[in-house]
Amino acid sequence: MKRMMWMALAAVLLPSAAHAQGTLDGTLGATFELTSSCVISGDSATTGANFGSLDFGSKPATFTGIVTAQATGGAGGPGPTQILCSPDVTSIAVAVSAGAHAGEGSTIGAGSRALAQSTSYIPYDVYADAGHATVYPSNGTPVAVTVPSPGTAFALPVYGRIDKTSPVAVAVGTYADTLTVTIEF
């Protein structure tokens, strides 16, 4: 009885060569396209990305001299803000806006942008290199920057510099500005 059941089941489950009328085979293509891209410190946002901040630290209100900063903390991460582009991107164009207080505070130092605290200002500039040789124009004109090692993360090339030349004391408080950074690749 068991043998009959197995034979009946096999007849139903196994296709009979007599029923096969032919076969058809061919190819099926599979594709996946990756496009050029860049991300800031792992943040995949293309608008409203967190580029971090230029933190110049703390000084006495009577200080004179140069204070520098590098973009840090992008997308909430510690250390220098990192940018990662696909391996085909060998250069980027970076533009930095004038900020909210462009041209203010020129009586106490040099700089096309200014940090503000109420009606007091500390002028500063933003550069494409740590040596402060290439300033980002405050009119938003992009500056070409070579990607050091394509396909590998590198520090966002945004460096700030305060050059307070006047010994005049300025108001105590936290000075701030907001810059818009645009990267084209």
Where does residue 127 rank: exposed (0-12), middle (13-18), buried (19+ CB within 10 A)?
Answer: buried
Predicted pLDDT at 11: 54
Give the amino acid at 151.
G
* Residue 99: pLDDT over 60: yes
Task: Say if pTM beats, i.e. exceeds, 0.85.
Answer: no
Decide if domain 37-184 falls under CATH 1.10.260.40.
no
Residue 184: CB partners within 8 Å, gap ≥ 6? 92, 93, 94, 95, 142
Q: Which ranges in the chain belong to alpha helices (H)?
A: 2-13
Integer distance in angstroms from the first to the last C-alpha of the chain?
75
Distance (Å) of CA 19 to CA 15, 22, 152: 7, 9, 59
Predicted pLDDT at 140: 94
Distance (Å, whole) CA 138 – CA 95: 9
* Residue 8: pLDDT over 80: no
Predicted pLDDT at 15: 54
Distance (Å, whole) CA 172 – CA 3: 98
**Would you list the domain boundaries of the chain?**
37-184
Q: pLDDT digits over 27-61, tens only? A: 999 999 999 999 988 777 778 888 999 999 999 99
Name the 3-class secondary structure at 75: helix
User: Which among 70, 38, 63 has a CA at the least distance from the CA of 161?
Assistant: 70
To the nearest whole number, what is the mean pLDDT of the chain?
A: 89
The band of 18, judged by pLDDT with boundaries at 50, 70 and 90, is low
Average pLDDT, integer, range 132-153: 97
Predicted pLDDT at 16: 52
Q: pLDDT digits over 59-74, tens only? A: 999 999 999 999 998 8
Task: State the DSSP code for 74.
Answer: G
Residue with tokens 């462009």: 102
Q: Which two tokens stand for residue 41?
A: 């410190």
The band of 78, judged by pLDDT with boundaries at 50, 70 and 90, is confident
